[in-house]
Amino acid sequence: MRAPMIAGNWKMHGTLQEAADLAGGIRKQLEGLPEVEIVLCPPFPYLFRVREALEGSKIALGAQDCHWEPKGEYTGEVSPVMLRETGCRVVILGHSERRHIMGESNDQVNRKVRAALTHGLTPILCVGELLEERSMGVTQEVVDRQLSKGLAGLSAPEASGMVIAYEPVWAIGTGKTATPRQASEVHHFIRKQTSKMFGEATASNLRILYGGSVKPDNICDLMAEEDIDGALVGGASLEVHSFVKIARYRE
């Protein structure tokens, strides 16, 4: 059985004290929550402070990106080795904001995925289509390309350590959410394609999260779908009450 994951992507928000308070508040209300893996991904400068706030809990610390090299002349970048030393266990890779604003290619995302796995981090690989791509009816083609190139060169055991997040770009930060049926269709497609790549056993155990304006009032409907195994939460992860309600969707 696939254990659900609820991950909070804080993006470029908050102060150091706000990050500490947010992590502490989430920890207090989600301490001991059974059968749901919780991940918090603060901005890079706040990783150590959030780590302190989570110390001794089962809540995992995650990062929002990493470089593919362990060290080198890459001004402004952060390596997977550095992330491990901060206590990170998870890293978000290929987020649409990095693809479409920072210009990251599928090849770069693939190099990051392989580097994260090499250094013991669990990658959350983000895939998803633009609004015009959905309007053109090419959602599956876009997602298939991002998957096949993002996971290129991985073995089945390596793929089994992955998490995939389907995030339709048109639903990120817009207040629009893919309907449960729309999300489920793409999640099912992702599972089918990964089965072709790595085998049915690996694909059936692969966790596929939904991201895109996830809120307390839509999480239950999303999680009721068979192929949705959790959520990558943006704006709603910046407030203790809303994130806790999402994480406690079963109650």
**Enzyme catalytic residues:** 95, 167
* Angstrom distance (rounded) from CA 176 to CA 174: 5
Are 43 and 72 in contact by the 8 Å Cβ rule? The answer is: no
Q: How many CA atoms lie within 13 A of 82 on its CB side?
A: 17
| CA pseudo-torsion sign 136, 181, 154, 58 | positive
